[in-house]
Amino acid sequence: MPPTSGRWPTALPPRELRRIPTALTLRRVNLHVHPTPDEANAAAADLLAGWLTASNTRTIMVAAGNSPLDLYSRVAARRLNLAHLTVFALDEYVGVPLTEPRNCANLLRRTVGNAWGIPTEQFHVVSSERECALESVRDHERRIEEAGGLDVLILGLGQNGHLGFNEPGSAFDSPGRLLELEPISVEANRSWFNGEHAPTHGVTVGMKTVLAARRILLLAFGPHKSTAVSAMTGGPITPICPASSLRTHADVSVFLDTAPAAGATPA
């Protein structure tokens, strides 16, 4: 169980309670625990390949970051015909140059768009330019809605329980938006960019879009994700841990190695 004080409390102040939907159907996520990240990614690739090639899968949203890169590579290695898919990026760093190869758009364009053979006009990202980011993500969500919503969503898990850049405190019905990032996320960004950038703001699709996806696959590896996994699977359902909302979703598959799985509540 998560700690009773700090990031994920056992009780919420009244204002936070009002932001939780009043009629939630609580479920348990499907946990897949493997000895190593390599084995977890192999199993996740088997599941994802089936989802992507299903006749009713047309739209997919993908996350950037370290966790899903091996998964994307394994899917690419299968040389599946995925040209029918429309792909959307989950989020983006704000204030990072458009030409930066490690921003979400460029990373995902290489590892998913190009690697999976997605037609250019079917690959959609949000802008990292501060003056364009908010309108960009609003257009992004409108495009998703016009496409009929998301069939598949790939997520990582932040150390503070965030999904995309939906930081702690994000309402479960929140829209796409630009927001200030918590210090732990800023430091993760600094590490990702090898100290060259440390963006303090991000732009992300909202929790409303995340939770409306028909199928969700989440990856979390390493001991530094253990507390977040514990809160996600067994703590209170609260915006203070956005990932806890996944227990209200009908079809979530979580792939872990043994380190973060230590505190998980079994499905």
Q: DSSP strand E in the chain: where?
A: 30-34, 59-62, 86-89, 91-94, 123-124, 152-155, 177-180, 201-204, 215-220, 252-257
140 belongs to the catalytic site: no
Q: Indicate which residue of 34, 124, 140, 162 is catalytic.
A: 162
Three-state SS for 222-244 is: CHHHHHHHHHHHHCCCCCCCHHH
- Nearest-angstrom CA–CA distance, 260 and 156: 13
173 belongs to the catalytic site: no
Phi-psi region of 109 (alpha: psi -120 to 50; beta: other; left: phi over 0): alpha
91 belongs to the catalytic site: yes
Q: Indicate which residue of 160, 182, 249, 257 is catalytic.
A: 160
* Strand, helix or coil for residue 181: coil
Q: First vs last Cα of the chain: how many Å apart?
A: 14
Q: Indicate which residue of 70, 92, 167, 182 is catalytic.
A: 167
106 belongs to the catalytic site: no
Q: Indicate which residue of 70, 91, 151, 182 is catalytic.
A: 91
**Residues forming the active site:** 91, 160, 162, 167
